[in-house]
Copies of this chain bind each other. A is one copy, B any other.
Amino acid sequence: MGNSFGKLFKITTFGESHGRCVGVVIDGCPAGLKLEKKDIQEELEKRKPKAEGISTGRREEDEVEILSGVYKSYTTGAPICLLVWNKKARSKDYEEIEKGLVRPGHADFTSFFKYGGFSDLRGGGRFSGRITVSFVLAGVVAKKILKERLKIEILAHTIQIGEKKIEKVKISEIRNNVYKNKMRCANLKVAEEMEKLVEKIRREGDSIGGKIEAICLNLPLGLGEPIFDNLDGEIAKALFAIPGVKGVEFGRGFEVVKLKGSQNNDLFRIKKGKIITETNNSGGILGGISNGMPLVVRIALKPPSSIFLPQKTVNVRKKKEEILRLKGRHDACFVPRAVPVVESILAIVICDFAQRAGLIERVISKSPYYH
Residue contact A8 to B4, C-beta cutoff 8 Å: no
21-73 of chain A: CB within 8 A of chain B: 21-23, 25, 27-28, 31-32, 67-69, 71
Q: Which of A12-20, A147-155, A169-177, A186-194 contacts B (4 or more CB under 8 A)?
A: A12-20
Residue contact B5 to A7, C-beta cutoff 8 Å: no
Q: Contact string, A248-280, partner B, CB cutoff 8 A, digits 1/0?
A: 111111111111111111111110000101100
Residue A88 is within 8 A (CB to CB) of chain B in the complex: no
- So how many copies of this chain end up in the complex? 4
Residue A93 is within 8 A (CB to CB) of chain B in the complex: no
- Contacts A16-B68, A104-B267, A275-B314; is A110 near B290 (CB within 8 Å)? yes
Residue contact B3 to A269, C-beta cutoff 8 Å: no
Residue contact B227 to A126, C-beta cutoff 8 Å: yes
Residue contact A2 to B118, C-beta cutoff 8 Å: no
282-306 of chain A: CB within 8 A of chain B: 282-283, 286-291, 300-306
224-254 of chain A: CB within 8 A of chain B: 224-230, 232-234, 236-241, 243, 245-254
Q: Contact string, A154-168, partner B, CB cutoff 8 A, digits 1/0?
A: 000000111100000
15 A-B contact pairs sorted by A residue (CB < 8 Å): A2-B224, A2-B226, A13-B79, A15-B67, A20-B67, A31-B115, A117-B366, A161-B257, A201-B260, A210-B257, A247-B248, A256-B302, A262-B311, A268-B312, A358-B358
Given pairs A19-B68, A114-B221, A249-B300, 15 additional interface contacts (CB within 8 A): A1-B10, A3-B226, A14-B78, A14-B80, A31-B115, A105-B261, A107-B286, A110-B222, A116-B362, A116-B366, A256-B301, A257-B300, A264-B302, A264-B303, A267-B311
Residue contact B256 to A246, C-beta cutoff 8 Å: yes
193-238 of chain A: CB within 8 A of chain B: 201, 206-211, 221-222, 224-230, 232-234, 236-238
- Contacts A105-B266, A257-B211, A305-B265; is A362 near B371 (CB within 8 Å)? no
For residue A31, which residues in chain B have a CB less than 8 angstroms away from its CB?
Answer: 114-116, 118-119
A252: nearest residue on chain B (CB-CB)?
A: B246
- Size of A's binding interface in residues, CB under 8 A: 155
Chain B proximity of A33: nearest CB distance (Å) = 9
For residue A264, which residues in chain B have a CB less than 8 angstroms away from its CB?
Answer: 105, 209, 302-303, 305
A29: nearest residue on chain B (CB-CB)?
A: B1
How far apart are the CA atoms of A96 and B265 in the complex, in Å? 19
For residue A256, which residues in chain B have a CB less than 8 angstroms away from its CB?
Answer: 209, 246-247, 300-303
How far apart are the CA atoms of A207 and B256 in the complex, in Å? 11
For residue A206, which residues in chain B have a CB less than 8 angstroms away from its CB?
Answer: 260-262
Residue A181 is within 8 A (CB to CB) of chain B in the complex: no
For residue A270, which residues in chain B have a CB less than 8 angstroms away from its CB?
Answer: 314, 319-321
For residue A313, which residues in chain B have a CB less than 8 angstroms away from its CB?
Answer: 267-268
Q: Which of A248, A291, A363, A364 has the most CB of B within 10 A?
A: A248
Residue contact A222 to B262, C-beta cutoff 8 Å: no
Q: Choose one: B80, B115, B240; the contact of A288 (CB below 8 Å).
A: B240
